[in-house]
Amino acid sequence: MGLIEGIKKAGKELARELKDIKQAPFVQEMCKTASNMYRLGWDERNGGNISYLLDEKEVAEYLDLTKVLRTLPFMGWNETEFDAKPIEGKIFIVTGTGKYFKNVQDDPETNLGIIRIAKGGKGIELLWGYKDGGRTTSELPAHLMCHMARLAIDPENRVIMHSHPTYTLAMNYVHELDEMKLTHTLWEMCTECIAVFPDGVGVLPWMVCGTNEIGIATAEKMKEFRLVVWSMHGIYGAGKTMDETFGLIETVEKAAQIYMLTAHLPRINTIKDEDMVKLAEYFGVKYRKDFLNL
Ligand code: 2HA
Ligand code: ZN
């Protein structure tokens, strides 16, 4: 075989080796999760966003990682205040700004993007997606700051998820927005709550979204909590997998739903604090003892 044929053959083999990105498990997971969240009514219009830290080797099965489609700005990001260097080179799949969760499943290549944090942490390289010229979610600063905060505590953390779950939001208007009190009420609403989120729920006051400030404040809370309520806006969740993260938000939302269905009625029965202790001990979870009235 001549040199030219050899190069052509190698090129073809490389092209053949790349698998169809739309079939990649991480793309499928994003599609299914966005659809579920939409169907549950948590993510109206362009509400909500997800970012998922990917394994470079796995992504390389689907994409040529030397091909950068575009470089993108850090949305709403004040670079002087924030340094993404600790996550330089890391690859994430992220929902797009202004995109509707409703549409992700039908057109992942327009509604999602696969990005890499550029050298020095000073920019974003687009490797796939945002086909219509789109960009990352406006909440990217908050997401990346949360990833950094969670990775420092749990090196296996992969997912940051933001959503507007209906009952959680409704509860924000009628319940005190105090971390201890809110967590305690949620724990009382479903037996398994204390086992699912023994670390409790952090709470931020109402703030302007999309800013560095809310990103910094959320990441600060994420040093302590995997769930952070943005008062009268929604919730942030963090986890090792898409299921774990979704499940955290889903469990808070279920508890909030029970609360909203019963808050106006006389409460005759409740799960007592000593019962919660028994449960947490049975499941062997490290829980916020200071959030109980023992
Ligand atoms: O991405 O939910 O908080 C839309 C939002 C902003
Ligand atoms: Zn939001």
Best residue among 51, 209, 231 to mutate for probing ligand 1's pocket (most ligand atoms within 8 Å of CB) is 209
Query: Closest-lying ligand to the alpha carbon of 168?
Result: 2
Pocket test for ligand 1, best of 111, 161, 162 (most atoms within 8 A of CB): 162
Return d(Cα 64, Cα 80) in angstroms, integer: 32
Report whether pLDDT(7) > 80.
no
Among the listed ranges 13-17, 246-250, 259-263, which one has the minimum average pLDDT value? 13-17
Split at pLDDT 50, 70, 90, the class of 74 is: confident
Residues contacting 48, CB < 8 A, separation 6+: 34, 37, 42, 95, 101, 161, 162, 163, 164, 234
* Mean residue pLDDT across the chain: 94
Q: Which ligand is located closest to the Cα atom of residue 142? A: 1
Check pLDDT > 90 for residue 112: yes
11: number of Cβ within 10 Å: 10
Distance between CA 162 and CA 25 in Å, rounded? 21
Q: Does 139 participate in catalysis according to the annotation?
A: yes
171 or 74, which is more confident?
A: 171
Atom 4, ligand 1: residue with shortest CA distance:
47
One-letter amino acid of 207: M
Question: Which helix (H) or strand (E) is 267 found in, with range?
Answer: none
- Alpha carbon of 48 to ligand 2 centroid (Å): 5
What pLDDT is attached to residue 80?
Answer: 57
Distance 10 CA to ligand 1 centre (A): 44
**pTM of the model as a whole:** 0.94
What is the CA(194)–ligand 1 centre distance, in A?
28
Contact at 8 Å (CB) between 103 and 48?
no
By percentage, how much of the chain surpasses pLDDT 90? Answer: 85
Q: What is the pLDDT of residues 213-222, one digit of tens each?
A: 999 999 999 9
Distance CA 289, CA 216 (A): 27
* CA 140 to centroid of ligand 1, rounded, Å: 10
pLDDT computed for residue 210 by the predictor:
87
- Encoded tokens for 267: 């409460």
Q: Which residues line ligand 1 at a C-beta cut-off of 6 Å?
A: 46-49, 137-139, 162, 209
Q: How many CB atoms lie within 10 A of CB 155?
A: 8
Q: Which atom of ligand 1 is nearest to the CA of 138?
A: 1
CA 49 to ligand 1: nearest atom = 1
Residue, of 160 and 78, whose pLDDT is higher: 160
pLDDT at 182 over 70: yes
- Determine the residue type at 63: L
Q: Tell me the pLDDT band of 14, cut-offs 50, 70 and 90.
A: low
Residue tagged active-site, from 13, 44, 81, 139: 139
Cα(226)–Cα(236) distance, rounded to whole angstroms?
A: 8
pLDDT band at 130 (very low <50, low <70, confident <90, very high): very high
Across 43-53, average pLDDT: 98
211: pLDDT confidence band, cut at 50, 70 and 90? confident
